Structure 1
Amino acid sequence: MAKRMKHKIYFSVCGEGYGHSSRDMAIAKALEDAGAQVLMGGYGYVLDRMKKSFKTVEIKREFEMTGNNGSFDMKATILKSSKPALGFSKIVAEEKKNMGVFGATCAVADGRSAAILAAFQIGIPCVVIANQTSLESFFMKDNPVMRIIGKNAEFSLSAGISIADVVLIPDFPPPDTVCLGTLGWMKHIKKKEIFTGPVVFSEFMKPGKGGAPDITRPFVLTILGGHAFRLPIFEGILEIAPKFPKVTFLIFTKFKSDKIPKNVVVREFADDISEYMRAAELIITQAGHSTAMEILALGKPALIIPDKGQAEQGSNAERMKALGVAETLDYSHLGAQNLFRKISMLLRGKKYKENAAKYSKIARKMNGAKKAAEIILEYSERVQKY
């Protein structure tokens, strides 16, 4: 008689930003739909987010992202994280306890080195989810001392990944990979990589013009948040919006102004941003990897303005431009004239819409969340066959 398998999948999720949890929750939903039990480990606002849909456990952060004049600073983050790293063994022990109490048959680590080591020590399979397997882009232009620090950080990253069983890249396969510039070239990492296709919530797998009934169309969607250094984007859109009298500009931000043009709508948040993204003609935002995958899955042209000093976003933005689905702007060229020119190009250029539609079709066919779930279940089976 064949042994009945019980799949218990433990996720260890980085809580710095929403991107890690977005893709992990999409995979976790696919796993539960397939009959698996899921336990999500997280901290901070990401833990609160996951609690709404999944069984959760609180874990300690491994590092804390650090900014410099409002922008993300990888070097400062690594230097500041040296103190928490001294308690790394305690974090590993905590992860081992969580896996043991839950009875995990497979661990999934997203931005979490401790979970990889814990799974290795216990002997259960470990699946890494990553859109970045190299830190070289953050340090390649620095002074010799910082390059040495960068090399050490790179070694730690690759050493951790190398003991995992498989690395899932939630992106299109080469040569169309958006995160290609942040993937390492070491063969002992590359041989473990599987490109699943974009991993997004099911809402982002529904292309078309549905949703957003409360906004006059056509409209351009801008997602800014409240970081102070993004204020020039907000001010620039307010300045150029009257030049597009037949287009509505919807901006999600915490910024305020007494001079809002008639065709501009400013809101602080949305319960479901996907309905606005799906209905928009164009999306203006940063190039975090999960956001990039959502844009491509929906088949939307985009104007990508990477955050200052964010090498990963800069790399993603250039890749999206190379794929023919986006234009880019950096803060040194963020004048009203350039903003007007880029938006005009994207609204009038058929090639952007055609290319975006092509990648949307590929994303739906690949169904990254389902594919990732199938791979995780395959590894979960390996410790239960006899």
Structure 2
Amino acid sequence: MKIMIFVCGEGLGHTSRCISLAQQMKTAGHEVLMGAYGYSKDLIKKKGLKTAEIIPEIQLVGDSGSLDLKSSVIATIKSGQFMGIGKIHRTLKEFKPDLVISDSYYTGIFFAWLRKKPVYLMVNQSNMEEFFMGKGILMGCLGNVTKRFYTRVFRKVDGIIIPDFPMPNTICKYNLDFEERVLNSVFYSGPLVGKKYKEVREAELTRPHVLSTIGGFGYREPLFHKVIETARLDRNINYTLLSGPSIKPDKYTDLPENVTIMEFIDEQFPYLKASDIVIAPGGHSMMMEALSFGVPILSFPDMGHIEQENNATSLEEEGCGKRLEYSISPEKLLEHIHQLIEDDAYKDKTQYLRSLSHALNGPETITEMLGSKHMNQNSQKNI
């Protein structure tokens, strides 16, 4: 079977879970082509997966830990990137997929429909209009248009995949709001994680150890500095900080001995397995990876990013970690670090989710489900 996967490249969360799914599909004998852009495309290529370049649908803009949605919309329009939309149609025409999976990339869905291909949408948010709330009349109107748009998409796709734990353990649950008429097409696959816990050899790190993935966007840099200041307060706790593509580690010369800074790495799982806590933004895929490895999370959602804020709230309610604010002091952050290290309740819950993730085996489950549906559809055509 030939499968096309479209990837939303804003942040690496969509990319990491699509890589996991594509690798499993290749292992199962399917031919996979991934549509991606920017550093998302570069990372996919490094994994040895076949890739076609597509256009970005939105350009994110923010400052000092806050996502500026209005500026993001304006920047997207000014970029003129929609002029390259024909590439998507040509790619589908040349590749001739049997089915299409779109991870939050809606342009790919429409062109797949034009070519009468089965389409499955992968999302961890179905209430995107919340992004536009409280931002003025114009943005409110845009939010209403957005809701009508994706509501129609949900009705027409062949299936909706939620790459999260099934209820009641769903971390993205506050971001989900489906009409009753589409609920039968919603499937909770479990996390899509690139490596299984048992097959990962943990990194040689001194414990207790904190892994910080704060870095990716420049507006997170103040929090990056705050984690370093927190590390100075207790030299018995060790830290590995991933700087991300926007922040180079060689600019930090005065570091305490318990801190190591690394550039973005393709393979985080050995570090996850060797850590006691993860400090991360509110991105869904990073949460799925940490929880699938049994590691509690201190989450700092981007201010004004409703999806991340909802994820972090659910994370705390489920007893898997804490939702924190960018304004926190280093002293208070250290208190939370001690709490997550010393309170066994957090470890017990995350270890349970690690076992659940293993049992669900999201990438394999989705691959088998879609393969079975495709065979059934072909059988019906031949009757």
Q: Same fold (TM over 0.5)?
A: yes
- Determine if contact 2:55/2:81 at 8 Å carries over to the other structure: no
Distance in 2, matches of 1:311 and 1:171, equals 18
Q: Name the counterpart of 1:61.
A: 56
Distance in 2, matches of 1:12 and 1:353, equals 35
- Determine if contact 1:137/1:182 at 8 Å carries over to the other structure: no
Q: Name the counterpart of 1:284.
A: 279
Distance in 1, matches of 2:253 and 2:212, equals 19
- Determine if contact 2:63/2:219 at 8 Å carries over to the other structure: no
Q: Which of 290, 297, 308 is matched with 1:295 structurally? A: 290
- Determine if contact 1:209/1:280 at 8 Å carries over to the other structure: no
Q: Which of 127, 130, 136 is matched with 1:134 structurally? A: 127
Distance in 2, matches of 1:265 and 1:119, equals 45
Q: Residues 119 and 234 of structure 1: is their aligned pair in 2 closer, same or farther, counting only changes over 3 Å?
A: closer
Deviation at 1:225, TM superposition (A): 1.6
What whole-Å deviation, never above 9, does each CA across 1:21-67 have from its counterpart, x for those lacking one?
21111111111111111111112222222223212222222232233
Q: Which of 266, 270, 290 is matched with 2:265 structurally? A: 270
Residue ranges of structure 2 left out of the alignment (5+ in a row): none
Q: Which of 334, 344, 352 is matched with 1:350 structurally? A: 344
Q: Residues 342 and 70 of structure 1: is their aligned pair in 2 closer, same or farther, counting only changes over 3 Å?
A: closer
Distance in 1, matches of 2:319 and 2:347, equals 9
Distance in 2, matches of 1:237 and 1:294, equals 21
Which region of structure 1 is more displaced relative to structure 2, 299-308 or 73-82?
A: 73-82
- Determine if contact 1:32/1:38 at 8 Å carries over to the other structure: yes
> Are 2:209 and 1:219 aligned?
yes
Deviation at 1:201, TM superposition (A): 0.3
Deviation at 1:160, TM superposition (A): 2.3
Q: Name the counterpart of 1:375.
A: 369
Letter in 2 for 1:122: R
Deviation at 1:242, TM superposition (A): 4.2
Deviation at 1:352, TM superposition (A): 0.3
Q: Name the counterpart of 2:255.
A: 260
Distance in 2, matches of 1:208 and 1:101, equals 37
- Determine if contact 2:215/2:221 at 8 Å carries over to the other structure: no
> Aligned runs of 1:189-338 on 2, under 5 Å?
189-202=182-195, 205-206=196-197, 210-213=201-204, 215-225=205-215, 227-253=217-243, 254=247, 256-332=251-327, 334-338=328-332
Distance in 2, matches of 1:383 and 1:82, equals 40
Deviation at 1:209, TM superposition (A): 9.1
Distance in 1, matches of 2:218 and 2:351, equals 33
Distance in 1, matches of 2:64 and 2:233, equals 32
Q: Residues 235 and 98 of structure 1: is their aligned pair in 2 closer, same or farther, counting only changes over 3 Å?
A: closer
Distance in 2, matches of 1:69 and 1:246, equals 30
Which region of structure 1 is more displaced relative to structure 2, 131-140 or 226-235?
A: 226-235
- Determine if contact 2:299/2:312 at 8 Å carries over to the other structure: yes
Q: Name the counterpart of 1:146.
A: 139
> Are 2:167 and 1:177 aligned?
no
Distance in 2, matches of 1:87 and 1:55, equals 23
Letter in 2 for 1:353: K
Q: Name the counterpart of 1:97.
A: 90
Q: Name the counterpart of 1:3.
A: none
- Determine if contact 1:62/1:84 at 8 Å carries over to the other structure: no
Distance in 1, matches of 2:198 and 2:332, equals 29
> Aligned runs of 1:147-162 on 2, under 5 Å?
147-162=140-155
TM-score, length of structure 1 as denominator length: 0.89
Deviation at 1:344, TM superposition (A): 1.3
- Determine if contact 1:196/1:372 at 8 Å carries over to the other structure: yes
Instruction: Give 3-state SS (helix, strand or coil) of 1:324's partner.
Output: coil
- Determine if contact 2:202/2:270 at 8 Å carries over to the other structure: yes
Identity %: 30
Deviation at 1:226, TM superposition (A): 5.4
- Determine if contact 1:306/1:317 at 8 Å carries over to the other structure: yes
> Aligned runs of 1:14-33 on 2, under 5 Å?
14-33=8-27
Deviation at 1:136, TM superposition (A): 3.0
Letter in 1 for 2:18: D
Q: Residues 209 and 145 of structure 1: is their aligned pair in 2 closer, same or farther, counting only changes over 3 Å?
A: same
What whole-Å deviation, never above 9, does each CA across 1:78-119 have from its counterpart, x for those lacking one?
45445679958x73x543432232221101111211221222
TM-score, length of structure 2 as denominator length: 0.90
Instruction: Give 3-state SS (helix, strand or coil) of 2:172's partner.
Output: helix
Distance in 1, matches of 2:230 and 2:140, equals 42
Residue ranges of structure 1 left out of the alignment (5+ in a row): 1-6
> Aligned runs of 1:79-118 on 2, under 5 Å?
79-82=74-77, 87=82, 91=85, 94-118=87-111
> Are 2:28 and 1:34 aligned?
yes
Q: Residues 137 and 22 of structure 1: is their aligned pair in 2 closer, same or farther, counting only changes over 3 Å?
A: same
Q: Residues 361 and 164 of structure 1: is their aligned pair in 2 closer, same or farther, counting only changes over 3 Å?
A: same
- Determine if contact 1:237/1:336 at 8 Å carries over to the other structure: yes
Instruction: Give 3-state SS (helix, strand or coil) of 2:152's partner.
Output: helix
Instruction: Give 3-state SS (helix, strand or coil) of 1:331's partner.
Output: coil
Q: Residues 240 and 80 of structure 1: is their aligned pair in 2 closer, same or farther, counting only changes over 3 Å?
A: closer
Distance in 1, matches of 2:188 and 2:13, equals 17
Letter in 1 for 2:265: A
